């Protein structure tokens, strides 16, 4: 693992106190500006975006390498950790208050630096495949208790492997994209199925990681090699239609209740930026099989929260606060398990954690749990109540890491719910 950055390093670009994006972060994203046809790759620094596509064209990044000209991060993801580390170090040097290359060239800065408020963010990668895991023991226990009782809450396989399913990459959208309430088959308690709009629309508080270099079909990624294949992380809201899901998921699992939308934050925070916040996860009992062992410190202390902003309100009500460190199965175990059968993964593939729930009711990661299937409505700041998400609600996911000297943030993953067609 790379050593953490010096938390005293400062940029010549003003970074407000409490910003998600100090020079120790430098998350990658894809953006466009008005009047320019093509999307460019950039990094966030304070309230600004540094244009890496133009920087690369000017020869200011890595010599004899071209990663940022295709309007996505896939080429850079494929380049591997040595390239990631080189570019990161180069950017931190260029943005340092002590380096004059950018600092003292106002004409250059005008071409490569933009306010985040003036750009449009896009998906950071061309996502070929998407897998969603089910890796929070607290969440799995809560859901199992609701539907099967406390004695049979966890399925027999859950403590032995990271359970997952293959999601729908085409309906992953970037933060700020509206989400249409889905329709599908619903099964009343006392009658045949009907077609209609979901009445039990839910959020799922998750995080996701992007694959860097992949593996050939028929080969595996050993768990000790997984850090070389994980580029960085984003916030995820895996929207769920609970009533559609309940009727359809037997015998093959999630389908239309999940595939209508998944919202992610636009900035990918690299694993090097998260390194100061890496530590041990929950004790795993029984001990996993050998191919899932070997990375004892693969959890990350990432604070998470979800807010609901009703239509017409200017502020959101925080309905849950949780932490990524609660995840039972780590990102390294997820990737090792994903490839143990010889499945090939590719640069830009995304894998999500599954709902992140903590040990207390105020840390549950979905409305299904927070309202306990609608039996305990959640009160909002304006006095309204929610059992599930209503039309006109904006759901906002936020995440950050913080200690005495450093804050590394992810920004937001937000989406406004529109009525069904």
Catalytic residue set: 139
* Nearest-angstrom CA–CA distance, 330 and 226: 11
- Bridge pairing between strands 179-180 and 407-418: parallel
* Nearest-angstrom CA–CA distance, 72 and 349: 13
Q: Which of 167, 155, 138 is nearest to 326 (CA)?
A: 138
Residue 311: both structure tokens together: 């239509």
Q: H-type helices in 189-312, by residue range?
A: 242-248, 271-274
Look at the alpha carbons of 16, 19, 21, 25 in this order and tell me if their dihedral is positive or negative: positive
Q: Which of 123, 168, 200, 175 is nearest to 420 (CA)?
A: 200
Q: Which of 349, 166, 353 is nearest to 255 (CA)?
A: 166
* Nearest-angstrom CA–CA distance, 257 and 282: 30
Are 68 and 91 in contact by the 8 Å Cβ rule? The answer is no
Largest CA distance in the chain: 73
Residue entry with tokens 């009525």: 419
Cβ atoms < 10 Å from Cβ of 209: 25
- Bridge pairing between strands 130-133 and 350-352: parallel
What secondary structure letter does DSSP report for 288?
A: P
* 3-state SS class at 191: coil
Give how far Cα 84 sits from Cα of 122, 218, 229, Å.
Answer: 21, 27, 11
């Amino acid at each position: 693992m790379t050593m953490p950055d010096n938390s005293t390093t400062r940029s010549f670009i003003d970074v407000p106190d409490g910003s998600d994006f100090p020079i120790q972060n430098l998350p990658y994203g894809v953006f466009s500006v008005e009047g320019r046809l093509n999307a460019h790759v950039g990094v966030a620094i304070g309230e600004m975006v540094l244009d890496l596509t133009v920087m690369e064209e000017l020869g200011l990044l890595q010599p004899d390498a071209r990663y940022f000209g295709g309007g996505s991060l896939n080429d850079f993801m494929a380049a591997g950790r040595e390239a990631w580390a080189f570019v990161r170090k180069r950017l931190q040097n260029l943005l340092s208050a002590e380096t004059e290359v950018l600092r003292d060239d106002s004409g250059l800065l005008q071409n490569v630096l933009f306010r985040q408020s003036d750009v449009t963010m896009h998906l950071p990668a061309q996502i070929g495949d998407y897998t969603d895991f089910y890796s929070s023991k607290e969440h799995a226990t809560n859901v199992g208790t609701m539907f099967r009782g406390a004695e049979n809450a966890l399925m027999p396989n859950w403590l032995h492997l990271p359970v997952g399913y293959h999601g729908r990459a085409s309906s992953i959208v970037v933060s700020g994209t509206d989400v249409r309430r889905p329709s599908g088959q619903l099964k009343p308690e006392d009658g045949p199925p009907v077609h209609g709009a979901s009445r039990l629309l839910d959020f799922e508080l998750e995080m996701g990681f992007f694959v860097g270099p992949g593996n050939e079909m028929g080969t595996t990624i050993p768990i000790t090699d997984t850090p070389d294949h994980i580029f960085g992380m984003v916030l995820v809201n895996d929207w769920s239609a609970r009533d559609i899901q309940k009727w359809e998921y037997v015998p093959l699992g999630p389908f239309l209740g999940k595939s209508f939308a998944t919202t992610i934050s636009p900035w990918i925070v690299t694993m090097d930026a998260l390194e100061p916040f890496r530590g041990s996860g929950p004790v795993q009992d029984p001990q996993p099989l050998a191919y899932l062992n070997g990375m004892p410190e693969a959890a990350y202390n990432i604070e998470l929260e979800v807010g609901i902003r009703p239509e017409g309100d200017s502020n959101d009500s925080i309905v849950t606060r949780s932490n990524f460190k609660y995840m039972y199965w780590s990102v390294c175990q997820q990737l090792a398990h994903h490839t143990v059968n010889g499945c090939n993964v590719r640069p830009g593939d995304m894998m999500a954690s599954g709902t992140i729930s903590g040990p207390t009711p105020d840390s549950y990661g979905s409305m299904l749990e927070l309202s306990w299937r609608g039996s305990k409505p959640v009160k909002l700041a304006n006095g309204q109540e929610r059992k599930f998400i209503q039309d006109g609600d904006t759901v906002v996911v936020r995440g950050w890491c913080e200690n005495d000297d450093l804050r590394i943030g992810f920004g937001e993953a937000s989406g406004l719910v529109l009525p069904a067609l």
